Amino acid sequence: MNIKEYISSGIVQSYVLDQADAAERAEFEKLSAQYPELVAERKAFEEALEKFALQNAVVPPRQVKDGFLEAIQNPSINQSKVITMEQHSNAPVRKNSGLRFMAAASVVLLLACGWFAYRFYNQATELKASNSDLQTRLDSAENTLNKIVDEQKLIKDPNVTVVNMVGSTAAPQSSANVFWDTASASVFLMVKNMPKLPSDQQYQLWALIGGQPKSLGVFDSLQNNVVLRMDNTKKADAFAITIEKKGGTKSPTLEKMQSSGRTKAPL
Amino acid sequence: MSAIPTYTEQELVSLLKNRDNKAFGYLYDHYSGALYSIILQILSDTELANDVLQDVFVNIWRKIESYDSTKGRLFTWMLNIARNASIDTLRSKTYQNDRKNQSMDNQGEEPLVALVTQVNVDNIGFRKVLAQLRDEQRLLIDLAYFKGYTHEEIAEMENLPLGTVKTRIRSALIQLRGFLK
């Protein structure tokens, strides 16, 4: 191998400017290990090339340096740059950064949509639950109101006689009111305070007509201030409540009379 | 560039391999203009060149470990990174489409804003030197060095024997050596 001839063949420039193919590069590197003058020639050309390039430099805009420094100081930006450079053969970097921004933005948008959907779904579920809860409470309030209105009507109706039942000596605490509509013969009972009974017993309401008891039905000691509709009676001198076995009896057990009241004030 | 080197090449490479950010700042200040020039000569578009230059420096930062000083100077290594990145961008579909759109949009219309970023690169850097070559050599150097075609591709494109392509390129490179001296 005539190294002088080899050097002057243009292989040095070819190697440095990346114009040599793989075989030429391998040969050049092998010979460089043997011939210091080849290395010296390569270095001389590289230095001339560098000097020329520095003399013909074009100053880039400041933002490029800022972008570069930011990228190497911020690992996350740096990461994304890494990806860009590794697939750089397909798309220019500027377009990539736009695409990357769009991709990032759409992921953010998707996540935001998901979050809102989740939020709205939860809100809808909560609203449905609270709506049905409100409906239940409204129904219950309406029922209560209707009852109160009915009771008020009953109390204020001029045809209705209110009989205050007072406790007997057997049950001084017991008290209830009978509302007797003399026009329609309807009888309503409002329990004020009746002690709870064993499960095999019930209270029974009686109308006393000419000294004879007439059953107006049985009731349990429910919560206070509940108006119960009892059987109708057109006549009554007095009302009485007794404790009877469950289901009631035909004639009252008077010794178990809890309370009674006359329909007319005694003269 | 009038920057006075404050490191020997060996010191600089050693600092760079240790990811010394100051050294990278120096590297940028010292070499960005020279690399920007070669990128511009390939892409002729300042906006694209800005993006490529930034990525080239990030890539240098990333790949500095793989730089082998026995195979060439640091600048040679960086120059090839810049050249390859520019050629990849040049060949990308998006770049080609941009070009197509520009030439279509441009028919009889007022110049596009994009054209404002175009630079006349005939008078900068190696292009200036190439002007001294014979036309046939200049064409081959342009295809091989600035467009990145292999010698085989050029032989096919120009309908020349591969040996002729290689000889002409070698001959052009030898002349280039003379111009740079």
Residues B86 and B133 in one domain: no
Residue B112 forms part of a structural domain: no
Residue B113 within any structural domain of the chain: no
- Does one domain contain both B88 and B143? no
Indicate the SS3 state at residue A175: strand
Q: What distance in Å separates residue A111's CA from the closest CA in chain B?
A: 29
Provide the pLDDT for residue B120. 60
Q: Give contacts of B59 with chain A, Cβ < 8 Å.
A: 81, 85
State the average pLDDT for chain A. Answer: 81
Q: Can you give the residue ranges of every domain in chain A?
A: 3-58, 160-262
Chain B residues with CB-CB distance to A18 below 8 A: 80, 83-84
Q: CB distance A49–B92 less than 8 Å?
A: no
pLDDT in tens, B64-90: 999 999 999 999 999 999 999 999 998
Same domain, B14 and B85: yes
Q: Which residues of B touch A68 (CB under 8 A)?
A: 24, 28, 54, 57-58, 61
Percent helix / strand / coil, chain A, rounded to 5 = 50, 20, 25
Residues of chain B positioned with their CB less than 8 A from the CB of A72: 19, 21, 24, 58, 61
Per-residue pLDDT of B86-137, as tens digits, reads: 999 988 866 677 666 655 544 444 433 434 455 565 556 777 778 888 888 9
Look at residue A30 in the predicted model and tell me its pLDDT: 94
Contacts with B62 from chain A: Cβ below 8 Å: 78, 81-82, 85
* Last-in-domain residue among B94, B112, B136: B94
* Per-residue DSSP letter, A68: H
Examine the domain organization and report whether B84 and B137 are in the same domain.
no
Domain shared by B26 and B63, yes or no: yes
**pLDDT at position B27 over 80:** yes
- pLDDT of residue B180 exceeding 60, the answer is yes
Do B71 and B26 fall into the same domain? yes
Tens digits of residue pLDDT in A78-103:
444 444 444 444 444 455 677 888 88
Residues B84 and B14 in one domain: yes
A92, B83: Cβ pair inside 8 Å? no
Q: Choose from B38, B92, B175 for mutation: most chain A CBs within 10 A.
A: B92
User: Which residues 73-132 of chain A have a CB within 8 Å of chain B?
Assistant: 73, 78, 81-82, 84-85, 88-95, 97
Cα A18 from Cα A30, distance rounded (Å): 17
Query: Does the distance separating the beta carbons of A52 and B174 come in below 8 Å?
Result: no
Question: Which helix (H) or strand (E) element contains residue A241?
Answer: strand A238-245
Round to whole Å and give the CA distance between B33 and A151. 98
Q: Is B72's CB within 8 Å of A84's CB?
A: no
- Look at chain A and count its residues: 267
Residue A68 to residue B85, Cβ atoms within 8 A: no
Nearest to B25 among A56, A67, A69 (CB): A69
Residue A122 scores a pLDDT above 50:
yes
Query: Smallest CA–CA separation between A98 and chain B, in Å?
Result: 12
Beta carbons of B149 and B157 less than 8 angstroms apart: yes
∠ CA B151-B159-A8, rounded to 5° = 40
Q: Write out chain A residues lying below 8 Å of B28, CB-based.
A: 65, 68-69
B162 contacts in chain A (CB < 8 Å)? none
Domain shared by B86 and B126, yes or no: no
pLDDT attached to residue B124 = 64
Mean pLDDT score across all residues of chain B: 83
For B96, the enclosing helix (H) or strand (E) is helix B93-105
ipTM of this complex prediction, to 2 decimal places: 0.85
- Assign A28 a pLDDT band (cuts: 50, 70, 90): very high
pLDDT of residue A84: 42
Mean pLDDT of the A189-193 span: 80
Q: Do B139 and B89 lie in a common domain?
A: no
Model pLDDT for residues B40-50, shown as the tens digit of each residue: 999 988 889 99
Report strand pairing: A212-219 vs A201-209. antiparallel
Q: What is the C-alpha separation between B30 and B2, in angstroms, rounded?
A: 8
pLDDT digits (tens, 9 = 90+) for A129-170: 888 888 988 888 888 888 788 777 777 778 888 888 877 766
CA distance B43 to B65: 28
Closest CA to B50 of A92, A89, A64, A71: A64
Question: For residue A59, what is the nearest residue in chain B, using CA coordinates?
Answer: B33
More confident residue, A194 or B148: B148
pTM above 0.80, yes or no: no
Distance from CA of B92 to the nearest CA of A (A): 5
CATH 1.10.3470 fits A160-262, yes or no: no
Looking at the structure, do residues B81 and B143 belong to the same domain, yes or no? no
- In this predicted structure, the answer to whether residue A34 has a pLDDT above a threshold of 90 is yes
**Chain B residues in contact with A97 (beta carbon < 8 A):** 51
Q: Residue B18: give its domain's CATH number.
A: 1.10.1740.10
Q: Is residue B109 part of a domain?
A: no
B115 is a domain residue:
no
Neighbours of A205 (CB within 10 A): 25
The reply to whether residue B33 touches residue A52, judged by beta carbons under 8 angstroms, is: no
pLDDT tops 90 at residue A230: no
**The predicted structure's pLDDT at residue B2:** 46
Expressed in angstroms, the distance from the first to the final Cα of chain A is 153
CA A93, A94, A99: angle at the middle one, nearest 5?
Answer: 90
Nearest one of A69, A85, A79 to B26, comparing CA atoms:
A69
Residue B39 belongs to domain spanning: 9-94
Contact by Cβ (8 Å): B130, B138? yes
Nearest Cα residue to A169 out of A257, A249, A87, A231: A257
Quick one: pLDDT band at residue A176, thresholds 50, 70, 90? confident
CATH of the domain at B162: 1.10.10.10
Amino acid at A1: M
Q: Are residues B79 and B127 in the same domain?
A: no
Is the predicted pLDDT of residue A21 greater than 60, yes or no? yes
Both B13 and B90 in a single domain? yes
Contact A90 B57 (CB under 8 A): no
Cβ of B28 within 8 Å of Cβ of A68? The answer is yes
**Does the pLDDT value for residue B1 go beyond 80?**
no
Amino acid B122: pLDDT: 59
Task: Answer yes or no: do A93 and B89 touch at CB < 8 A.
Answer: yes
Q: How large a percentage of chain B has pLDDT more than 70? A: 78
The mean pLDDT value for A197-205 works out to 85
pLDDT tier at A123 (50, 70, 90 boundaries)?
A: confident
**Among chain B residues, CA nearest to A8:** B174
- Interface residue of B37, B45, B81 to substitute, partner A, most A CBs within 10 Å: B37
